[in-house]
Chains A and B, each alone.
Chain A
Amino acid sequence: MSPWAGLVPAGALLLALAVPAAAQRDETVDRAEIHALLMAYGSTLDAHDFDGFGALFARDGVYAAGTGAQAHGGAEAAAMMRRIFEASPLGIAGPKYHVFFNELVDFDGPDRAHASAMSFYMVPGEDGRPVIAMMARYTDELVREDGRWRFARRRVTGLMPAPSQSR
């Protein structure tokens, strides 16, 4: 056996450890991009940009809405939200908007992650002041597809009012 044979794995290990931070996978960039994706969920819906909303989902992405309805793929998710918003189930005029908080993101690999977050859905009250109409939790599976983070699955759970109480 070559006297150098045993040194190869050790050398490879040293090389791996010597990779400068700048050359390693930049998790902070991934976190920033995932944060932007979670925010875009609200900004597209608030702007009634349903095509933009659909583009947030992976090709096989699943959107499980708080109503129990499920959409498969971005186009179906976009169509579902367009229908819901046109029907205006809350019966409240705008402006309405999402407030997100308590965002937790964990990585399952270089291109997979899962996350949870919560939201208020704000609507104008009778006097025009902001009122919290709903509080929800999001449970997400995320995937990097074609270089961009997307929802592989987003499940919305209504917390308050309880789903049966939602107007």
Chain B
Amino acid sequence: METTGSVEERLQRIEDQLAIHRLLDDYAAFLDARDYERYAMLFAPNGEWIGGVGHHKGRAAIRAMLVDLLGPPGSENRTEFHLLSNARVDVEGDRATATSRYLFVRRGSDGGPQPALAGLYTDMLVRADGRWLIARRIADDILPPPEEWATQCTADRQ
């Protein structure tokens, strides 16, 4: 961790780290709460989401992706959640990069929580009007691999 600079500069670095960690956690919270408006607002106006369900650019397209995947906004969700961990953030002025791990947990057949999918988020972030936003998020499904996960999702929908 860099410890040089004035107290104000060091405080700014800490606040940037806190704000970006909060952004990463808000992403999971808004997604699991089916709060698509606030989720989409975490992205820059021309922000991108890239992952197993395609490449979506812009807040409207990202919001539409959620409607498509998860149904109408605001619906109650007590069956699947995202655990966010291992966040690593590097800030360079008004730009930053981050990686974090996600564990998608679903209600299993016995009603208990079952890990369903583990993956890696790789983010480019930008500060706009004093607020950190996602310029690009890549979601890499790792365990199970993407093809296997897609097969499982298709089977679940049938």
Interface residues on A, range: 20 to 34
Instruction: Tell me if A37 counts as interface (CB < 8 A to partner B).
Output: no
B78 touches A159 (CB 8 A): yes
Q: Is the CB of A120 within 8 A of B113?
A: yes
| Nearest residue, chain A, Cβ from B78 | A159
State whether B7 touches A20 (Cβ < 8 A). yes
| Contact status B78-A162, CB under 8 Å | yes
Q: Nearest Cβ in chain A — how far from B104, in angstroms?
A: 12
Q: Which residue of B lies closest to A121 (CB)?
A: B113
CB of A88 within 8 A of chain B? no
A3 to chain B, nearest CB (A): 34
**Contact residues of A between 122 and 153, Cβ < 8 Å to B:** 132-135
In the complex, the answer to whether B113 meets A102 with C-beta atoms within 8 Å is no
- CB proximity to A under 8 Å, residues B1-42: 7-8, 11, 14, 18, 22, 25-26, 28-29
A15 within 8 A of B: no
Q: Give A132's nearest chain B residue, CB to CB.
A: B113
* Interchain CA distance A85-B82 in the complex, whole Å: 28
Q: Are B81 and A118 in contact (CB under 8 A)?
A: yes
How does the 8 Å CB contact mask read for A53-89 relative to B, with 1 for contact and 0 for none?
A: 0000000000000000000000000000000000000
Q: In the complex, what distance in Å separates the CA atom of A160 from the CA atom of B104?
A: 13
Minimum C-beta distance from A143 to chain B (A): 21
Q: Which residues on the A side are within 8 Å of B111 (C-beta)?
A: 160-162, 165
Q: Decide if B26 touches A104 in the complex (CB within 8 Å).
A: yes
Contact with A along B68-107 (1 / 0, CB 8 A): 0000000000110111110000000000000000000101
Bound together, the chains give a CA A134 to CA B112 distance in angstroms of 6
- Residues of A near B113 (CB, < 8 A) are 120, 132, 134-135, 159-160
Q: Which residues of A contact B119 (CB under 8 A)?
A: none
CB of A31 within 8 A of CB of B18, answer yes
CB distance from A56 to the nearest CB of B (A): 22
CB distance from A122 to the nearest CB of B (A): 11
Which residues from chain A contact B129 at a C-beta distance below 8 Å? none
Query: What is the chain A residue whose CB lies nearest that of B28?
Result: A102
| Chain A residues near B (Cβ < 8 Å) | 20-22, 28, 31, 101-104, 116, 118, 120, 132-135, 159-162, 165
List, sorted by A's number, 7 A–B pairs whose CB atoms are closer than 8 Å. Answer: A20-B8, A21-B8, A116-B29, A118-B81, A160-B112, A161-B107, A162-B78
Interface residues of B (CB under 8 A from A): 7-8, 11, 14, 18, 22, 25-26, 28-29, 78-79, 81-85, 105, 107-108, 110-115
